[in-house]
Amino acid sequence: MALPWIIFVILGLSVIFGLVAIIVAKKGGKKPTDYYAFFVMGITWLPLGIIMMTMDSDNSIGNIFFILGAIYLILGLRHRKEWKKNHVPFKKLPSKQQKMKIIALVVLGLLLLAGLVVFYIMKKGIFG
């Protein structure tokens, strides 16, 4: 299976998005930690880790997602009293942040669609 190139693409995209996030964060100044986001990441990554552990014979990637998901979930739950402090409804965000949020959701949706297409192609063995 041609999995290594997929991992390099994911790592490359992660680095690019990380750099963009750092640049945007430096321009915006210090913001309070959003523990609700940690909770959401934990809820997402924990089952993803369980699924990956059952699918992968190596289990290392699944274990990483499971452990990080558990850490994020615990961290988010531990600070659940601070969830409402940092939460701003979408309609109350400035228009620039609304546009950035929409762009981020569209990009993530396209990446999800691309991942599903690659998964389907790999499953059917069209290019491999």
Measured distance CA(71)–CA(61) in Å, rounded:
15
Question: How confident is residue 51, by pLDDT bands cut at 50, 70 and 90?
Answer: confident
Tell me the two tokens of residue 45. Answer: 């990554």
- If one compares 107 and 125, the residue with the highest pLDDT of the two is 107
Cα separation, 35 vs 47, whole angstroms: 19
Q: Is the dihedral of CA 89, 90, 93, 97 positive or negative?
A: positive
Taking the mean position of all CA atoms in its chain, how far away is CA 100?
16
pTM: 0.54
Share of the chain above pLDDT 70, in %: 89
Largest CA-CA distance found in the chain, in angstroms, rounded: 50
For the segment 114-126, the average pLDDT, to the nearest whole number, is: 81
